[in-house]
Every structure is written in structure tokens, then in C-alpha cells.
Structure 1
Amino acid sequence: MFSQSLIFLLLLLAIGVVAKNQSLIVAVFVLIVLKAAGLDSKSFSFLQSKGINWGVTIITIAVLAPIASGEIGFRDLTGAFKSPFAWIALISGMAVALLAKGGISLLAEDPHITTALVLGTILAVSLFKGVAVGPLIGAGIAYLAMKIFDLFK
């Protein structure tokens, strides 16, 4: 009747409700509905393979919306490079993209690490009001930390 995965999802739903985290609540609810409808076998693997790309696309759309609306223009772009904080943001953006690249490599080579990354993301989202963009960046940070650890082994 209640599978281990359903119990786990219900626990995550409860954590989402207690933490008042709408993203976690919606995500778990959608997965429970798909599971209850019997659509889990194909939809879960499809979501797992395409979901990160969709999420990155949606985040990119949200970030680019001020450009599309005219709120940010070329004047803002050129003005931003006069600020040391803009250069820090530029370098940070590049670093995060490179970390994510390492994260993709790690998840492809060592998929069992995904469990720890997902748990870390869930804990940060539910307990510390974090934002669930972490698994890929988390994998990248883990990849970097593992490479540094290997240097000192």
C-alpha cells in the first residue's frame, strides 16, 4: 500500500509544510500525483533527464526578463562594468558555470552522490529557507572539494 518512496515523499511534503516552502510542497505534490496516477515509470525518468535543463531555462528566462522589458539596457551594462562589484559578479558567474560543469561530470561518473546532494538541498530548502538550485552547483562544489582532497591524499 505505502511504498518506501511514497513514505519518503510524504515526509518531504510534511517538511515542506512545516517549513512553509512552497517550491518543495508543489514539487512533492506533483510527484505524488504522478505516482498515484500510475505515470511514474515513464514520467519520473523523463523528468529526471530533462528537468534540470527545463529549470535552468526557466531561471534564465527570469534573469533575462528585465532585459526584454527594457528595464535593463546597454547603458546599464556599460555602467555596471565601472563598479568593482560588477566585476566580482562577472567572475562569480563564470566560477559557478565552471563548477556546474564539474558537477555534471561528477553526477555522470558517480551517480550515488546524487542522494547526498538531494538530501543537502532538501535540508537547506526546508530548514534554512534556501532555494533549490543547489544540486548541480552542489555537485560542482563537491567535485572541486574531492579534487582538492585527492591532491592531499
Structure 2
Amino acid sequence: MSQASIFLILLLGLGLLSKNQSVVVAVAVLLLIRWTTLSPYIFPWLKSHGLNVGIIIITIAVLIPIATGEVELRQLSDTLQSPQGWIVIISGLLVAMLGGAGVDLLKNDPQLTGGLVIGTILGVIFLKGIPVGPLIGAGIAVIFMRIYAMFSG
């Protein structure tokens, strides 16, 4: 059995242990693809386009309340008039910035992905957290790496 399969099986076990459905489904799909003759065709496409497709799906899910009429323009106006609304807007800006930095980190250093997933799973198991996604986690890692570089170099 290849190291890639062993690593994925380890991640599958951690996903099951932490009851992290996203990790379990993702790893199971990757193992199924890996163990078929389709992997030389599917993996390159997923590597090139998977992140964009995933972001599109997440964006669609986030915009559903607007599409269904649950959130209206009047509510946006109300949001702009409260301190809590501005805090949420600024938080959204920061999360988008962190996600962008995370995309760059994962593209440039894909070997960090395993550690990021393991850290997320450990946070779910031991800190009762929820898996918010690897892009934000990677973006936070970028900030910590820059701080570390400032003080170590």
C-alpha cells in the first residue's frame, strides 16, 4: 500500500474519531478515486479546479438567504447603522483576506495540508471546536509564520 493511501486512511480514521463528516466524505472519495483507474484523469482536474468549484458551492450556500428573500436590502441598511453590523462586516473582510492568504499558502506549500487537517481534527476532538475550513486555518498560519519570521530572523 502506498504512503498516500496510508496517510489518507489515517486521516479517515481521525475524521471518523472526531465525527468530522466533511473530512470523512472527502477522504473516502479521494481513496475511491485513488484505487480506481480514474485517478490519473480526476486528480489533475481536481487539483486545478477543485478549490474554485468548492468556493463557488460555499458562496451559493451563503447567498441562499438572499435568493430566498430571507435577507433583504432593508436589513443591509440596518446592519450598516449598528456597531455590531460594522464588526460583522470587518470580520467578513478579515476572513476573506485570511482565506486568500490560505489559498496561496496551500498552493505554494501543499505539504502543510496534512498538518492543517490534523490540527483541525484535534481542535474538534479536544476543544469542542468545529471545522471551519482549511483556507482560514492556512491564512491564520500565514500570520503566525510571518510573526515567527520577524522574531527568528
Scaled to the shorter chain, the TM-score interval is 0.7 to 0.9
Change (3 A) 1:149 1:22: closer
What SS does structure 2 have at the residue aligned with 1:152?
Answer: helix
Distance 2:115 2:17 in 1: 22
Q: Is the 8 A contact 2:121 2:131 kept in 1?
A: no
Bigger mean CA offset, 115-124 vs 45-54: 115-124
Partner of 1:15: 14
Q: Write out aligned runs for 1:34-53 (5 A).
A: 34-53=33-52
Q: Write out aligned runs for 1:4-153 (5 A).
A: 4-125=3-124, 128=128, 130-131=130-131, 133=133, 135-153=134-152
What one-letter code is carried by the residue in structure 1 that aligns with 2:94?
A: A
Runs of 5+ consecutive residues of structure 1 not aligned to the other structure: none
Distance 2:70 2:29 in 1: 34
Distance 1:125 1:148 in 2: 25
- Give deviations 1:1-42, integer Å, cap 9, x for gaps: x22222222232233333333222211221121122222223
Runs of 5+ consecutive residues of structure 2 not aligned to the other structure: none
What SS does structure 1 have at the residue aligned with 2:71?
Answer: coil
Distance 2:19 2:118 in 1: 18
Distance 1:78 1:43 in 2: 45
Q: Is the 8 A contact 1:104 1:136 kept in 2?
A: yes
Q: What percentage of residue pairs aligned between the two structures are identical?
A: 48
**TM-score, normalised relative to structure 2:** 0.82
Q: Is the 8 A contact 1:15 1:126 kept in 2?
A: no
